[in-house]
Amino acid sequence: MVNSSFKNQITSNLGSLHPRQRAWVEINRSAIEFNTRVLHKLIAPTSQLMAVVKADGYGHGALNAAESAQAGGASSYGVATLQEGVQLRQGGIQAPILVLGNLIQSEELRACHHWRLMPTISTIREALICETLGSGSGRIMPLHLKLDTGMTRLGVNWKEGSRIAKALSELKGIKIAGIYSHLAMADVSNKVETFTHLQKQRFLEVLNNLDNQNMNFGYRHLANSAGTLHDSGLHFDMVRVGLALYGQVPSSKLTSITNLKPALQLRARVTLIREVPSGVGVSYGHGHTTSIPSRLAVISIGYADGIPRVLSGQMQALFKGQRLQQVGKITMDQLILDCTSVKSLTVGSIVTLLGKSGKHQINTFDWSEKCNTIPWEILCGFKHRLPRLVLNTND
């Protein structure tokens, strides 16, 4: 039987384990602030920047991202869910927060009003609930009307936009604080000029109809990260920046437009070195077999941490400016690197899986293109058993 005091000591020690014990994500707040400043300079002085910090700040930590973006000039925030907005308020964020997802229940919208969050409205039904809440509380409820100009997701059909907006203007308990739409193809280079232009024209048609009726509906916003970087004509009164805020670009063709700093680096430790002869199978299924006597490093990170298993045999890691090839199948908790030519790598050494080492860098595009996915999914995939280390560096 284990002594109770010994068990208590073990439990206490577990709580004090260093976050760099196994594998971790490093978040550079200074990079987020820097990127916000760079992006702010791209937009007109009359335009504002909304920092999109949904999905826990794309894996960077929502509060970290919000505070850093505010220091860089962001004036408001975008979240996807009610809970995300409440967490920002509980963390001390006082700036306007727009809930980009649909809130459909009275209880949700009541909580939204209580926490001074702005809901997105896609139907009259939700607007009427907001009207009741605003009138009943004696405090007008601000909201944003969304138009579907081609995303075919949330929002009222743009053809009905003017009529719906006029109907909302007659409700006394609400205030239309903004009107917006979402670009569907701004990050698809061969379709940017065509469909994005069509969406802009549809958006403008609604806005012009409202202007002709002398209606003012607060901030007009259309551009996401790709739209912000691609075309200043999409900026209107405000831009909604997500991916670019974190130093990533939606398309490799946009990398030359501005110099952003990736705010996230992924690192892990070597836990074992194996010396094996040629002809040895490695990991599940022996998908890799050594062709020469090899030195293999076991790294304590796997697909349960967010490393896509489809990267097996396709990814690399960095160590002191040198590239190491990953071999064999990526497993739930480990992956294996071939370190035959890098004798200085030892047990306890730290490798970089995403980020910079010396003159080399591995970014989310290196992964997403091999996985046939997008950088957004890579960033949002890192699980919370990976500690987040918050740094402030200018590197």
Both tokens of residue 391?
């740094």
Other Cβ atoms within 10 Å of 257 Cβ, number:
14
> Of 341, 362, 361, nearest to 297 (Cα)?
341
Locate all alpha helices (DSSP H) within the chain, ordered by sequence. 4-15, 29-42, 54-58, 62-72, 82-90, 106-114, 124-137, 161-169, 197-212, 225-230, 364-371, 375-380
At residue 211, the pLDDT reads: 94
**On the CB side of 252, how many CA atoms lie within 13 Å of its CA?**
8
Grouping H, G, I as helix, E, B as strand and the rest as coil, residue 240 is strand
Other Cβ atoms within 10 Å of 66 Cβ, number:
24
What secondary structure does DSSP assign to 177-194, as a single string?
Answer: EEEE---SSTT-GGGIII
Enter the DSSP assignment of 300. S
- Catalytic residue at 54? yes
At residue 19, the pLDDT reads: 84
Both tokens of residue 40?
């702010």
Q: Do the beta carbons of residue 114 and residue 94 sit within 8 Å? A: no
Residue count of the chain:
395
- Paired sense of beta strands 141-148 and 118-121, if any: parallel
Enter the DSSP assignment of 196. I
Query: Is 332 assigned to a binding site?
Result: yes
Question: Which among 54, 146, 175, 329 is annotated as catalytic?
Answer: 54
> Any idea which residue has 């007008």 for tokens?
140
Block means of pLDDT (10 residues each) for the chain, 395 residues, are 50 62 96 97 95 97 97 98 98 98 97 98 97 97 98 98 96 97 84 84 97 92 94 96 93 73 97 98 97 98 98 98 97 98 97 95 93 95 94 81
Q: What domains can be seen in the chain, in order of their start residue? A: 29-246 (3.20.20.10), 264-362 (2.40.37.10)
Q: What type of residue sits at position 51?
A: A
Q: Do the beta carbons of residue 340 and residue 290 sit within 8 Å? A: no
Contacts of 383 (CB under 8 A, 6+ apart): 304, 305, 306
**On the CB side of 155, how many CA atoms lie within 13 Å of its CA?**
25
Query: Is 153 assigned to a binding site?
Result: yes
- Catalytic residue at 180? no
> Of 170, 190, 180, 107, nearest to 143 (Cα)?
180
- Radius of gyration from C-alpha coordinates of the chain: 25
Q: What backbone phi and psi angles, to 5 degrees, belong to 259?
A: -100, 95
Grouping H, G, I as helix, E, B as strand and the rest as coil, residue 144 is strand
At residue 216, the pLDDT reads: 85
Q: Do the beta carbons of residue 352 and residue 278 sit within 8 Å? A: no
pTM: 0.92
Question: Which among 172, 191, 284, 383 is annotated as catalytic?
Answer: 284
Rounded Cα distance between 299 and 293, Å, is: 19
